[in-house]
Amino acid sequence: MAISLIDAAVAQGARQVPACSILGISVRTLQRWNNSDLEDKRKAVNKAPINRLSEEEREQVLETCNREAYRSLSPKQIVPALADNGIYLASESTFYRVLREKDLMHSRGRMAKPSQHNKPKELVADGPGQVWSWDITYLAAGIRGTFFYLYLFMGIYSRKITGWEVYEYESAELAADLLRKARLSENIPVGQELTVHSDNGGPMKGASMLAIMQKLGVVPSFSRPAVSNDNPYSESLFKTMKYTPAYPDRPFESVTVAREWINTFVRWYNGTHRHSGLKYVTPEQRHRGQDTALLEARSQLYLKARERHPERWSGDIRNWKPVSTVTLNPSSAQTNGERVKQAA
């Protein structure tokens, strides 16, 4: 364009030197441009990242996500499951990126977006049998407008379901009897202090329930009145149960059918389900103390994967250290992150 403009100006009587000065170039530059082929000889920039997966590896990620065993799981569940089998394909973020590029990043379950919960009194557990959470949820019955009631106790340290039963009505007496049986099944001695947290429902604060707590040395803890989200662990467990793909689409025909399905769910939840709050180990593995060795094996697997392809790792490997303590409703003055820093 500069050559054409200067040639046009010179053809109309202008001098070459002032015409070049107006465009900010010298006469020598114009001469060099006239004597060259004007081909752009700059080297092209290779923008392909060095840590990009090959097409074969990307297809393997897609094929794995679409398998029958993984199609209902998120990449955060799939990657640890593969790691437990000695397989490492890519990180969770890479799984998400590959799925997003293929327009496969849709909800892989029935759960809605999580919501934040208000936090009452802080309770901390660093081992099983210290803090339990319990609640009652409705199970739709065959007759419209009627329900069965699932009573469920869980340990917040391991998320293990420690006691459950399905009844046809709510009662403090039934809750007290279930608490006594759950304590016996977990081999918790009477002298050991156990805190049980619940909301402010009638069965939770009934005279029979409070009496058996006092007799067994159980310390009661309650949510704030009129705040339904102060018992997050039990609420989260009920949400996992009711949004799992195996949850029945139709109401339970009888209390026996409901008990059979809940029994299957409890065995799956305690022994198979990898919990996101426990670095994706099962509640029973956490309860028995097996999570330490399992997470260490995952850490070694990640180290070997980084040694094979160091260019794909921009920093340290994923933190697979076990969760030391679990807090129910941590106070606003000290978050879990601050507590971990202090412990370190």
Read off the pLDDT of residues 299-334 as tens digits, 9 standing for 90 and up.
999 999 999 999 998 889 999 999 999 988 787 655
Q: What is the pLDDT of residue 52?
A: 84
Beta carbons within 10 angstroms of residue 331's beta carbon: 12
161 in Cβ contact with 184 (< 8 Å): no
Beta carbons within 10 angstroms of residue 161's beta carbon: 21
In our burial notation (b when 16+ CB lie closer than 10 A, e otherwise), range 262-271 reads beebbeebbe
- 175 pLDDT higher than 70: yes
Q: Tell me which range, 26-35, 159-168, 306-315, is most confidently predicted by mean pLDDT.
A: 159-168
Residue 115's pLDDT band (boundaries 50, 70, 90)?
low
Residue 50's pLDDT band (boundaries 50, 70, 90)?
confident
- Residue where the block lists tokens 């394909």: 89
Q: What is the pLDDT of residue 104?
A: 87
Q: What is the pLDDT of residue 43?
A: 73
Q: What is the pLDDT of residue 226?
A: 63
Q: What is the pLDDT of residue 199?
A: 85
Provide the mean pLDDT of the chain: 87
Q: Tell me which range, 23-32, 33-42, 187-196, 215-224, is most confidently predicted by mean pLDDT.
A: 23-32
Cα–Cα distance, 258 to 61 (Å, whole number): 38
CA angle, 245 as apex, 241 and 246 as ends, to 5°? Answer: 75
Nearest residue to 219 (alpha-carbon basis) of 295, 132, 135: 132
Q: Across residues 51-73, what is the average pLDDT?
A: 90
- 117 pLDDT higher than 70: no
Q: Tell me the CA distances in angstroms from 139 to 27, 143, 174, 242, 247, one per residue in order.
A: 89, 12, 17, 9, 11
Read off the pLDDT of residues 237-250 as tens digits, 9 standing for 90 and up.
999 999 999 999 99
pTM over 0.75: no
Mean pLDDT lowest among 72-86, 109-123, 246-260: 109-123
Inter-axis angle of helices 27-34 and 16-23, nearest 10: 90
Read off the pLDDT of residues 189-231 as tens digits, 9 standing for 90 and up.
877 889 999 988 888 888 889 998 888 888 888 887 766 667 8
- 22 pLDDT higher than 70: yes
Domain at 127-278: CATH architecture: 2-Layer Sandwich (3.30)
What are the structural domain ranges in the chain? 2-34, 55-101, 127-278
Q: Regarding predicted confidence, which is higher, 48 or 329?
A: 329
Mean pLDDT lowest among 144-148, 265-269, 330-334: 330-334
Q: Tell me the CA distances in angstroms from 335 to 121, 326, 328, 339, one per residue in order.
A: 13, 12, 11, 6
In our burial notation (b when 16+ CB lie closer than 10 A, e otherwise), range 13-48 reads eeeeeebbeeeebeeeebeeeeeeeeeeeeeeeeee
Cα–Cα distance, 39 to 230 (Å, whole number): 70
Read off the pLDDT of residues 119-137 as tens digits, 9 standing for 90 and up.
567 889 999 999 999 999 9
- 336 pLDDT higher than 50: no
Q: Tell me the CA distances in angstroms from 56 to 63, 89, 312, one per residue in order.
A: 10, 11, 16
How many CA atoms, within 13 angstroms, populate the side-chain half-sphere of residue 301? 20
Nearest residue to 329 (alpha-carbon basis) of 155, 134, 125, 122: 122
Beta carbons within 10 angstroms of residue 325's beta carbon: 14
Mean pLDDT lowest among 23-32, 114-123, 310-319: 114-123
- 343 pLDDT higher than 50: no
**Structure token pair of residue 190:** 């009477």
